[in-house]
Amino acid sequence: MPFSTDVRLPRDVEPVFPDACCACGAAAPGNTVAIKGRRVRWSELFWPWLWFFGKRIVVAVPVCAACQPRLRSSRRWQTVILLASVAVAIPILFPLAKSFGFGWRTTKAIGAVLTLVAVLPVVLWQMLHPPVFDITVGKDHVDYEFASSDYALRFRAANPAASEREP
Ligand SMILES: [Zn+2]
């Protein structure tokens, strides 16, 4: 099961993590890693300054000393790779969209769609290789995404507020 297993909690609920490493499952891991998440909107592709107004959420994820670097790096690299592919795609695809000769608004829309299509393989690849743990912040909920479905089930059991959303 390559995709991550997601557990959704209301945004104002503090998540309760099982006392186990979220990467290898070892009991009483003793360390935590702060994972930051924020609400990402596609509109930020058009208005990048919206990025600064996104609401941030920080969760402390239990992890053992051995897995700590893995948890930090897997997520960071995915962000870097995704941002890099967007950064490469935009200067290639927006002039292409411009060459169709439409007005600026249509050109912007075509450029955005082309960029989304171009980075789709990267997004799919990342979905098939999820980081150990990630969060996605929604309007009034937070999705806690675990590579380990086993750990996700334990997390869901520890949080009565979790919605019964089967992955
Ligand atoms: Zn571990």
**Distance between Cα 69 and ligand 1 center (Å):** 10
**What Å distances lie between residue 78 and 30, 124, 142, 166, 167, CA to CA?**
26, 12, 19, 25, 21
pTM confidence score: 0.73
| Integer Cα distance of 8 and 24 in angstroms | 22
Residues with CB under 5 A from ligand 1 (ion): 21, 23-24, 26, 64, 67
**H or E element that contains 24:** none
**Distance between Cα 63 and ligand 1 center (Å):** 5
pLDDT at 53: 66
pLDDT at 7: 94
Consecutive 10-residue averages of pLDDT for the chain (167 residues): 83 94 94 83 65 77 92 81 91 93 93 93 87 86 92 95 66
- Write the single-letter amino acid at 57: I
pLDDT at 1: 43
pLDDT at 47: 66
pLDDT at 88: 93
